[in-house]
Each structure stands twice: as structure tokens, then as C-alpha cells.
A and B are shown apart, each in its own frame.
Chain A
Amino acid sequence: SQQGEEDPQALSIQEGENATMNCSYKTSINNLQWYRQNSGRGLVHLILIRSNEREKHSGRLRVTLDTSKKSSSLLITASRAADTASYFCATDAWNQAGTALIFGKGTTLSVSS
């Protein structure tokens, strides 16, 4: 089934360093999104990149999309302790309602000060 797979599963870095997370998926998409989840809480939307876009920026976030390789990356620059969270990529999947997202297992990022 169409699904995002994040890599690595866990990442530990120091404050100020950059964090890079990757996502691979299996079938064609219309868009890919990245979400963040603090421990035991709901997900927060970070950024959406459409299939005809290659790169997108939002503050300290940079997302790339390579549809030929069916992969995306999320770069967080100058990381802070507050960036500690799990990060998920999600791809759109069309069902009867045409509205579902398929999430990967996520990358757990730990930023230490």
C-alpha cells in the first residue's frame, strides 16, 4: 500500500546542529506533507509540498521532493531543544472520498542542549 517510510527512526543531535530526515513512498502522489508530534499529543502540520515542486522553505524548515526517486527530505536548521519531537511524512491516498492521508512511522528527533 502507498505509505511514507521515514529514515532514520531516531536521531539525536546537539542544539545548533542541523537535522535531516528522509521519507520514501511507493506510488505517485499529488502532494507530500510533514507533521510534527510532541510526546502524546496531536500532530501539527509543518509544510506541504506539491508534486510539481522540488523545494520549499518555511522558517528553519526546508523540504525537498524528488518524485523520480519517490523521496522527500526535511531539514531543520539550527536546531533547538524545543524541536525535540516525532516527525512524520504523509502522502495523499485517494479512497472513495478522495481525502485520506497515509502516514509513515516517523522519525524521533532528540535535541540536547
Chain B
Amino acid sequence: ETGVTQTPRHLVMGMTNKKSLKCEQHLGHNAMYWYKQSAKKPLELMFVYSLEERVENNSVPSRFSPECPNSSHLFLHLHTLQPEDSALYLCASSQVASGGYEQYFGPGTRLTVT
């Protein structure tokens, strides 16, 4: 788990707050991901950065804004969230290569929106 770190581990925020989630990978990978995990639902892929280029995901509300300043760091900026956005937010990284790859996950940030 230490290959991918996430901060903070827990976050409680009001609907009018602005906060950011941080992810850092120490594995030399060239792709990073944000996932949302809600109770009783599959992991939802939110954003992908491959070689520091973002892949748009039109189903993610604009109140979530990712940022990838370099291949090791990934942020998720949050503003005017809704209570239904409460979930575990997972960051992952991988080395993109043909023939398959595995993803390494961080421990997650448990977000509660009040």
C-alpha cells in the first residue's frame, strides 16, 4: 500500500466548502486514476491520466475537477458537493503497456458531505 499514498484519509466537508484530495505514487508509473466507491455499487472510474494527458469522462459532474501536475501526483479538487457525493475515493496508478497491466491502489479518502 505504501506505493500509492492518499491524503487526507478522512474528510468531512459542508456543501459550500472547497477541498482537495491528494494522491502520490512512488512506483514510476505513467498512468493515474480516480475512482469513486459508494456502498453497494461498483467502483466508478472518474478520471484517467495517461502520460499526464487527461481522458474526459462526461458522466462526472463539474464539481469534481482533477489535476495532474506531473506523473507522480494527482489531485481531485472538490467544490459545492452534494450529500450523495459521500463515498470512498480511491486513487490508483499503473504502467500502461500492451498485453495487460495491473493497477496499484491507495488506501482511499473517506469523504462525508454534510
Which positions in A face B, CB cutoff 8 Å? 3, 30-31, 33, 35, 40-45, 48, 50, 88, 92, 95-106
Contact = CB atoms under 8 A, between A and B. Distances in A.
Contacts, number: 73
B48 A97 contact: yes
A42 B4 contact: yes
Contacts of A95: 48, 55
Contacts of A100: 33, 45, 48, 55
Interface residues of B, number: 31
B108 A41 contact: yes
A88 B43 contact: yes
A43 B37 CA distance: 11
A48 B102 contact: yes
Interface of B: 1, 4, 6, 31, 33, 40-43, 45, 48, 50, 53, 55-56, 88, 90, 92, 94, 96, 99-108, 110
B100 A31 contact: yes
8 contacts: A40-B88, A42-B6, A42-B90, A44-B1, A92-B100, A96-B55, A97-B96, A104-B42
A101 B45 contact: yes
B107 A41 contact: yes
Given A43-B92, A103-B43, 7 more contacts: A42-B4, A50-B99, A97-B53, A98-B50, A99-B50, A101-B45, A104-B42
B93 to A, nearest CB: 11
B107 A42 contact: yes
Given A43-B105, A97-B53, A99-B31, A50 B43 contact: no
A31 B96 CA distance: 14
B45 A45 contact: no
Question: Which 10 A-B pairs rank lowest in CB-CB distance, beginning with the nearest?
Answer: A42-B105, A97-B50, A31-B100, A103-B43, A45-B102, A43-B105, A97-B55, A42-B107, A105-B42, A96-B55
